[in-house]
Amino acid sequence: MKNSNFFPKSSSAIYARNVLPPSNYKYSKNDFYGSHEVNSNLKNAYKSIVLILSLLLISFIQDKLLSQTITSSCSTCGGNYQTIGTTNGTTDYRTLTGFSSARCYFVKGTLVITGSPVVWANLKLKMEEKAQIIVQSTLSMNNCYLSGCTDLWQGISTSGGGYLFVYGSVIEDANIGISLADLAGFVCLHTKFINNYIGIASGSPFLSDQFDHQIQRCQIWGCQFYTETTLPDPYVGHPYYPSWPTTYPEIPYNQGYAAVFLSGTGGINIGYKGADSGDRNKVHDMRNGIVMRNSVGDIYGTDFYNFKGKIPASVANPILDLNQHAIDMYRCATLIKENTMDSLMVGIYARESNNTIDENEIEISRPTPGSGFTRGIQEFGPQKLSITNNQVNEGFRGISIEDVTTDFLVKDNDLDRNFYFGGINMGIFVRNAKLDPGTGIIEGNTIDMADATVANGIHLATVNRITVDGNTLLHAGGGGHQSRGIICSGTYNSYIAKNTSNATMDYRTVGNRGIEFFNSAFDIESCNQAENYYMNFDFEGPCSNIQFVANTINDGTYGLALTTPCMLGTQKHNGNIWDGTFDINAAYIFGSSEVQTALFSQFIVDQSENSLFMPSSIGPPTVDLGNWFINESTPGYTLTCPIVTPSPIADPDTLQKLIRTELAFDDYNDEMTWNLKADIFHVMISDPSLHSNTVLDSFYDAEDGNALGKLIFWEDELMSRFGVQKTDKNLTQDTINYLSADIVYIDSILALSPSDSATWLALRDMKADSLLDEYAEWLDFLNDEFDASQDEYADILLSLKFLTTTNDLEANLKDALLFKIQYLTGVSFDDVDSAAIVDLTDLCPWEGGRAIPEAESIYATINNNMSMPSLDNCTFSPYLLFPHFVSPYEGEDFSVFPNPVKDVVEVHSNDVMEELKLTDLNMKSIYNYKPSKKIFIFNVNEIPAGVYLITIKTTTGYSTKQIIVSK
């Protein structure tokens, strides 16, 4: 028997990890047979009997669905029922004389189907409250209507390997319409599931002890799942008795929880490839679509739309309180293909799963005011991931991948956004990724951001060795501020190439960037193109040794911008082209250490080879004197696109020179030295081959015992997953995918009722056995990794707590890593923690260093938002020094500043504000004013730190912005 805590009750730690099994739990093949304690010979004999009986039934009913449509058993029977069974009693179907389509039946208690196969056609059954039907042999229902008639009944369940065939029928008012046990066979075509808590299930979200099920045959095609009114009240003994909950108010618990719920199940595949018209499944007016836990199964040809309720900011139970998710998975292996999702808040959500997501259409709803909880595709800790050829419209985050240490591919997806959700919208977001070279790829995606106030196309935060290649990003309309085509924050050893980021003219205002690097190092940025931004290419923070190669800088306010102090390293004949006109400068260095930045970021170009290698206008005047761009003729040496094999991200000669460099910046010189050493130490951790160099090894050994070396080592470790048996796990994952595809193929053959169906069913049974063997092994891998990782995080935490830091950069990084361990170990955050994380994200880049991207990454997870790089807390404000500076809020309906705010906030509107509301993210009202003016000032020092919404009403309608209150 299984550990009774396999699905433990929720707690803050469990919720953060999304219901994890106990660390000492081990899977075996026997787990997947639930409570069936039979020897293999008896089990195989039993299967053979079931196969023979089911084949007799298949041959009798397949392809002979009746055209008659039966109407409700409640409205057409006129109260004239023949009673079957007794309340709380059990009736064996064999004791009855059989059902007639000319009669209506009222079923009480439990009706058990045993013995020979039973066929029901054109029946109308009214089910008593809490009544149920148990299928222990084989039952076929053709054109039947089963309803509780506004009373909740338990539904139909299989037992002991029963087979159930349902054609053109209606199942209404059940807790679980159809519940499948181990060894069940199931075919369900063109059937409606109305007003059921769950339509089809293998397992229950209410149970803490889940059994694992092998389904011997499965087809779910052309079925419809929906809530027509509300669910009947729970019966005595139901977990929610006597009434459906009302907390949380955003969740309509009296609506259908899910169309399908699977727990520990193999062999159930939903829909089929190429399904169209009446063969597509439809899920609508429900809370969720398909919820899977520890299961293997593919999902095709299903339409999800018009979901009910909203997503609360926090919940007590991550399963029972789930809402607005089309497909939700935990530790599942799934192919999701050719589905549509519309008018819901989360398309596909997965944790620690092996997913292939291909050719789906996802249309996220537009909640008012905007919600930071909307997602197209969200993946946490994916084990293997391919997201290709999908259309994702809207969503606060289109595609989001977090905590990833293994292969993933995001390719050829189209993402459109025409609605501003508040906060910082992101097309593709990757956070906390540590990868092997060439294994994390974002390629060939098109991201169109219209009405894109604060919208980033691709946002990378704390990532290592990622490839972003050949993506097309477009900002059109809206013309807001703080939008980016691509932003790399804390991005190391990565390759950003052949991307195009274009905007319309109205994006040439302060705050908008085409491609930005912030506090990153040792990256290659090559063959990219950007146009019509305030800064087409921008570097902020130290940005040590980033190769800027063969990029095309088109029209904009500034072509290339560096903010001091910065040290890209020498860009020698790298072939960048300034092919545009610029409102101010083709290249400009902001800040007061501009000469030093120029010397540490020199561009050696051959103007005679191509005049466009030299920017048309360079500023400020102090760097327009030959100390930034140097004209040097070297025929035939210039790099051009396409660059097939990029130069190494770091080489020993370059690193030796950096180690021996005496930095001399006017501002933050000590901080620049520390950041440079940290970047070199990190790149040496990433590439062990660099340790063969005597100078580099001496540097490494010296820093390894210092706070700097320890912090950078632990930072790298906290991006890792420990105890990974990579080769064996990958082989197991591939085998699972192959076996699952084989089962899908066999089901497509069985649907044709071949004469050798028995042979195909036997083959399917063998494949399903093998699939569950492999899947159990895969879960063992995941459990071992989880245990090893938690042990390692605990060890790092113990050492980190007692580390003595020597400067603010180290102290800030220590604080950020402590918060990261808190997240990784599932310890909940409070308002004080949240405010402290915000303070870290808001540090000056040179004082915050590596702590800023780490804090941004954590903040993005716990607060459903993202912070952006800021220079507000630096000792200088470089953009304000320039005479052409304009307000970043210009062109918006209204602005809120400062943001974050500690006490007094100002709201400026283009129109008179008739009403102003301050609410929390749960829409609970904090303040409500009627300003009757365009400028309004109020104090927020009495409310707790956190994220809030400011909504104003003017004659043109409502507008909403997020504001961070920081204490």
Give the tens place of pLDDT for each residue, 670-695.
999 999 999 999 999 988 889 988 99
Cα–Cα nearest to 922, from 313, 346, 246, 375: 313
Query: What does 532-579 look like in DSSP terms, one character per residue?
Result: SSSEEEEEES--BT-EEES-EE-SEEEEEEEESS-----EES---EE-
Q: List phi, psi (to 5°) of 13.
A: -70, -45
CB-CB contact of 523 with 492 (8 Å)? yes
* pLDDT of 36 above 70: no
Q: What is the pLDDT of residues 787-845, one digit of tens each?
A: 999 999 999 999 999 999 999 999 999 999 999 999 999 998 988 998 899 899 989 99
pLDDT given for residue 24 in this prediction: 35
Ramachandran area for residue 687 (φ above 0: left; ψ -120 to 50: alpha; else beta): beta
Q: How far apart are CA 308 and CA 257, in angstroms?
A: 10
* pLDDT of 884 above 90: no
pLDDT given for residue 65 in this prediction: 44
Q: What is the 8-class DSSP label of residue 442?
A: E
Q: What is the pLDDT of residues 604-660, one digit of tens each?
A: 999 999 999 999 999 999 998 889 999 998 877 899 998 877 677 888 988 998 998
pLDDT given for residue 62 in this prediction: 45
Of the pLDDT bands very low, low, confident and very high (cuts 50, 70, 90), residue 211 is: low
pTM of the full structure: 0.86
Q: Which residues contact 83 (CB under 8 A, 6 or more apart)?
A: 105, 106, 108
* pLDDT of 540 above 90: yes
Q: What is the pLDDT of residues 450-468, one digit of tens each?
A: 865 788 999 999 999 999 9
Higher pLDDT, 506 or 49: 506
Cα-based distances in Å from 209 to 1, 8, 22, 158, 937 = 10, 8, 12, 18, 55
Higher pLDDT, 893 or 512: 512
Most confident of 200-214, 472-486, 820-834: 820-834
Which residue is it, tokens 């679509």? 289
Of the pLDDT bands very low, low, confident and very high (cuts 50, 70, 90), residue 61 is: very low
* pLDDT of 518 above 80: yes
Of the pLDDT bands very low, low, confident and very high (cuts 50, 70, 90), residue 599 is: very high
pLDDT given for residue 51 in this prediction: 53
Which residue is it, tokens 């069940």? 184
Percentage of the chain with pLDDT > 70? Answer: 89
Query: What does 312-340 look like in DSSP terms, one character per residue?
Result: -S--S-TTTT--SEEEEEES-EEEEES-E
